[in-house]
Amino acid sequence: MFHDNLFPIILFALFSVASAVQLFYYFWFYLAVYLKKEKADRPDRKPVSVIICARNEAENLKNFLPSVLEQKYPDYEVIVVNDCSEDNSYEILGNFLKIYPHLRISNVNRDPKFTHNKKFAQFIGIKAAKNEILVFTDADCRPESPQWLEGIASHFDDKTDFVLGYGGYNNKKGLLSKYIRYDCMTIAMQYLGMAICGVPYMGVGRNLAYRRSLFFENKGFGAYNHVISGDDDLFVNSNANKSNTAVEFSHTSHTRSVPCTSFSDWKIQKKRHLTTAPYYKFRDKFLLVAEPASRIIFYAAFIILLSLPFLWQYALGIFGLRLLTQITVVALVQKKLNEPGMAGYSLFFDIFSPLINGILLLTNKLKRPGKYQWK
């Protein structure tokens, strides 16, 4: 009789621990994104260099580069690294040069004897920059307003080396687009929330800034130069700390990118991004694994507990508390990050996203390194 009752008790204890871990992440890290106050004062606006790496991005450069070049900021340059493009990027950039005197182009020609990843193009842009503050975005990104640079650059003072911004995706029709937006927002809830709480571990290259001197003092991308991805998150992971990192939340300082239109393209992109995970600090890997692992245990244990003759009432109550917390926090954060509708979609995506990411991570482990290209 004792052994018959032991399994439900152990399962309920496991469910309770997983629930507590989930509530900790929501109330400590995720809610911090909503509670963080926006910076009210705007100090002297320092000169800025914007760096964009582009490979075969002619159409995106034509559509989105003007919104970067037309920022309302007194002193900035835009460096586009045209990295081995085989489309008409050169002609489009040449036309922009006639209109925008603060645009600079660095061309990288293809060499069959030398292959490189995005970090090399990024290095070319950083080397060419004349200003201390570097702001990074992608060719398929559009700043949400002409005040984008002002918001990002306003956080740099004597103590700040990194500024993490939010880079979301355009709201398109279709379930894949909704999931990409959800995935992007929940990742931001984590990395921005952890940065606010003094545990910065990554940034996104769609909206990121750091000091040029810091890059060279720390030998650039260093030991991670061979990794296909990680030009943004691994550099932050290695060099950011609670005292030198700031976050920028204002809607005017967001960027928006074009989402993948097919699942296969998104899968390749996502798997490429996940190649950096093994190189994070142990502390960060633990925090990043604990949340999805506890979420899988939470849902699996809840389903089993519902089938048992006792304890299900308590499990149902805890599940309701966690669900209410999830909906409330996501609803608050979606306002902060200007991502309407995500609270409703999170009811469905929250269950399956750790499984999807787990499968992609596992297949990355089974794949030979170097398979992916940044473009």
Same domain, 134 and 239: yes
Q: 372 lies in a domain?
A: no
The answer to whether residues 266 and 309 belong to one domain is: no
Find the CATH number of the domain harbouring 204. 3.90.550.10
Characterise 368 by phi-psi region: left (phi > 0), alpha (psi -120 to 50), beta (else).
beta
- Average pLDDT value for residue range 10-31: 97
273 with 317, same domain: the answer is: no
Q: Which of 35-39, 123-127, 208-212 has the lowest mean pLDDT?
A: 35-39
Where among 220, 250, 279 does a domain terminate? 279
Q: Clarify whether residues 184 and 320 are in a common domain.
A: no
Distance CA 87, CA 159 (A): 42
Asked which of 228, 259, 279 is the last residue of a domain, the reply is 279
**pLDDT-derived band at 2, boundaries 50, 70, 90:** very low
Pair (73, 101) in one structural domain: yes
Domain identity same for 46 and 18: no
Residues 47 and 15 in one domain: no
Q: Are residues 191 and 301 in the same domain?
A: no
How many residues can be counted in the chain?
375
Amino acid of residue 336: K
Other beta carbons within 10 Å of 171: 14
Q: Based on the domain organization, do 158 and 208 belong to the same domain? A: yes
Kindly tell me if the per-residue pLDDT of 285 is higher than 50.
Answer: yes
Are both 185 and 333 inside the same structural domain? no
> 3-state DSSP call for residue 256?
strand
Question: 310 pLDDT exceeds 50?
Answer: yes
Instruction: Determine how many CB atoms are found less than 10 A away from the CB of residue 184.
Output: 21
373 assigned to some structural domain? no
Instruction: Domain count for the chain, please give it.
Output: 2
Is 309 found in the same domain as 189? no
Kindly state whether residue 375 falls inside one of the protein's structural domains: no
Percent of the chain with pLDDT over 70: 95
Residue 1's pLDDT is what? 43
Using the predicted structure, report yes or no on whether residue 89 has a pLDDT greater than 80. yes
Please give the C-alpha separations between residue 76 and each of 43, 133, 187, 215, in angstroms, as whole numbers: 16, 10, 30, 19
Boundary (domain end) residue, out of 254, 279, 304 = 279
Residue range(s) defining the domain that contains residue 164: 37-279
Q: Are residues 154 and 266 in the same domain?
A: yes
